[in-house]
Copies of this chain bind each other. A is one copy, B any other.
Amino acid sequence: MVKIITAAYIMIGDEILSGRTKDENLNFLAENLTKIGINLKEVRIVPDDEQQIIEAIQNLKNKYNYIFTTGGIGPTHDDITADSIAKALNKKLVINQKAKEILINHYGKDNINEALLKMAMMPQKVKLLENPIGAAPSFMVENIIVMAGIPKMMKLMFNSSLEFLDFGDKILSKELKLNVTESIIAKDLSDLQNKFPDVTIGSYPFIGGTSIVFRSFSKEDLDKCYDIISDKKYEQ
């Protein structure tokens, strides 16, 4: 039996949608989820808008094993992720005592203020995710992993979430590069795809050729598909 674990990713932030900020998190997350056998099935990017965050969480939460979010967990008024997620889950937003302690230890009793303590406001019953560089921890609540948008922090939080995640079987992949255009191999690929419905066959053109990516949980099927195409001698 193949163990399939799925995820969705909700990226939160006006700055991505306005073009001000170039995303640096998607590819990291996609690549690293694939590596640990978690199948990223969908991504949504929404603004710092409570209604849109709630809708995305409620739409996706029961559809996939895990939901990852980035963005909107800082100390300012536009950081509404924790609050919106609490609302989406019908949970109270409370001060997390452990997170508060971490913040006070980091900033010192004299420097702590309301804005900084806002970062300890979390839904009830969370698991904290460490943030060695920024002090303010993020959290996992139910099946939702809530991370910072700043790429360096996000990576650390992702790593610290791993201990709470159930990994699935890894999808294996094999890539074949041919020096012919897609249209020459299209018919054969289509026939092969019909014969092997459990292998995902992707065809990606590049200048001067086509890269074919076979993906499957079965090494046997993967090798068969790869060999069938690589044995043919295509000519442009």
Q: Spell out A's residues near B (CB within 8 Å).
A: 11, 14-23, 26-27, 29-34, 40-48, 52, 74-79, 113-116, 118, 150, 171, 173, 182-187, 189-190, 193, 200-205, 213, 215
Across-interface contacts of A173 in B (CB, < 8 A): 18, 20
Identify which of B11, B17, B31, B189 contacts A76 (C-beta below 8 A): B189
A76 neighbours in B (Cβ, 8 Å): 182, 185-186, 189-190, 203
The 8 closest A-B pairs by CB, nearest first: A19-B31, A115-B186, A19-B30, A43-B45, A77-B190, A76-B203, A115-B183, A75-B183
Asked if A26 meets B23 with Cβ closer than 8 Å, knowing A34-B18, A40-B18, A183-B113, the reply is yes
Which single member of B34, B48, B116, B193 contacts A19 (CB below 8 Å)?
Answer: B34
For residue A45, which residues in chain B have a CB less than 8 angstroms away from its CB?
26, 42-44
**Could you list 20 further interchain pairs (A-B, Cβ under 8 angstroms) beyond the known A19-B32, A77-B189?**
A14-B202, A15-B213, A17-B40, A17-B43, A18-B215, A19-B34, A20-B173, A23-B23, A42-B52, A43-B44, A43-B45, A48-B202, A76-B189, A76-B203, A78-B200, A113-B187, A115-B183, A115-B184, A115-B187, A118-B186
Closest to A45 in B: B43
Which of B14, B19, B27, B34 is close to A27, meaning CB atoms less than 8 Å apart? B19
